[in-house]
Amino acid sequence: MNHFDLREGALACESVSLAAIARAVGTPVYVYSSATLERHYQVFRDALTAHPALGSPAIAYAVKANSNLSVLATLARLGAGADTVSQGEIRRALAAGIPPERIVFSGVGKTSEELAFALKAGVAQINVESEPELKRLTGVARAVGVRPAVVIRVNPDVGAGGHAKISTGGHESKFGVSLAEAERLYRLAETDDALNAVGLACHIGSQITDLAPLEAAFGVMRDLVLRLRAQGWTVERLDLGGGLGVSYFNNPEPPSPRAFAAMAASVVGGLDVELAFEPGRVIAANAGVLVARVIHVHERPDGRRFAVLDAAMNDLIRPAMYEAYHDIRPVAPRPGAAVSYDVVGPVCETGDTFTRDRLLAPLEGDDLVAFMSAGAYGAVMSSEYNTRPLIPEVLVRGDAFAVVRARPSYEEMLSRETRAPWL
């Protein structure tokens, strides 16, 4: 469920017309619904807590899905933690009011500087993804004088996800350590007096619409916990990552959080570990839309129609990068039979094509359209390619809205660069 509906013939976010936001802020613009963010977090949380066998699991929102400070602050007020993958994301989580004891630091290439920052900030745990990183962390921990809680991220050799580029659990993936390495590295961490080995982690991919691979991965992790305990090692935590998919209208309906929680309880329930989950897309995707304006419609003699928008691949890169599908809706639908359009942006790349041969209500220049399910991996992956300004982000609550990231002026963009002194 989301809170984007037609009101008096035009699309609105909660009680605010998207056309009103476009008039006030300009286009393109990302618009997020507070009510949807809150509801999705609460549904996920309640699904997990409905199973006593799961205990009181931590929910660390995956900041990379949407890192806007107001989005993070909205979730922080509900008790969410943060799964972070850079010093910048840790700083964002802290700035949004997420306490360090609810922050997890993941990522395959943490620098010494980033590790030192995380340790000084007091994050809940460091998810270690390789032996070189384990050795690096030991050195940093001794230098900083902090004994961090360490979790070994395991690659369970179960790949899943909506695209090869977002599948992270296969044996060829760069993430985590192999099962063959996991026990040895856990033993190294357990016997290192600079570290506090507390558990294991895994994350097999994103946009997963079938519980079977998740169930298989969770089973691998359960068995590994039992093997380590049989060797006399303590395993207190089990971080099972995120990855649960959402509906983009062209994929099978994904499992519900309730079904996901029931599966997790059946596989790892009763292990006597502190469980953690890292939802991202499932919280944010359907809580946001990208609103764009039609510059013009170009019809060729062969009948192919191009709806040229003021939004481009630098604003929403998912279709170009992942061949991703987004439902596209006219903000104020015109009457008439659906028409086939190639929906494209103004960037000088053939790849700046959002979709081809999409049937939409008739469009004309100056019409507004909304890309649905754009709240995750939208604004956070945008760029200034072609010297196009980053587009604003707006957060709605009820009948009010606020600009939570402003569009920079061209002068502000250019002022960030300086000429070399010999020029």
Instruction: Give the pLDDT of residue 167.
Output: 43
Q: What percent of the chain has pLDDT over 70?
A: 95
Angle (deg, nearest 10), helices 131-144 and 112-121: 50
76-101 tens-digit pLDDT: 999 999 999 999 999 999 999 999 99
pLDDT bucket at 251, cuts 50 / 70 / 90:
low
What's the pTM value of the predicted model, to 2 decimals?
0.94
The Cα 173–Cα 160 span in angstroms is 11
Domain covering 4-32+285-415 assigned CATH 2.40.37.10 in the classification: yes
pLDDT for residue 171:
53
Q: pLDDT, tens digit, for every residue of 115-151?
A: 999 999 999 999 999 999 999 999 999 999 999 999 9
Is the pLDDT confidence value at 58 over 80? yes
Is the CATH number 3.10.129.10 carried by domain 34-281? no
pLDDT (mean) for 210-233: 94
pLDDT at 409 over 90: yes
Per-residue confidence at 172, pLDDT binned at 50, 70, 90? low
Tokens (6 digits) for 272: 């006597």
Q: Which of 321, 368, 337, 311 is nearest to 164 (CA)?
A: 321
**Helix, strand, or coil here: 246?**
coil
C-alpha–C-alpha distance, residues 349 and 343, integer Å: 13
With 80 as the cut, is the pLDDT of residue 46 above it? yes
pLDDT value at residue 157: 78
- 348 has catalytic annotation: yes
Q: Which of 230, 348, 359, 423 is catalytic?
A: 348
pLDDT in tens, 358-374: 999 999 999 999 999 99
Domain ranges of the chain: 4-32+285-415, 34-281
- Identify the pLDDT of residue 165: 40
Q: How far is CA 29 from the centre of its chain?
A: 19
Q: Write the pLDDT tens digit of every residue in 280-312.
A: 999 999 999 999 999 999 999 998 999 999 999
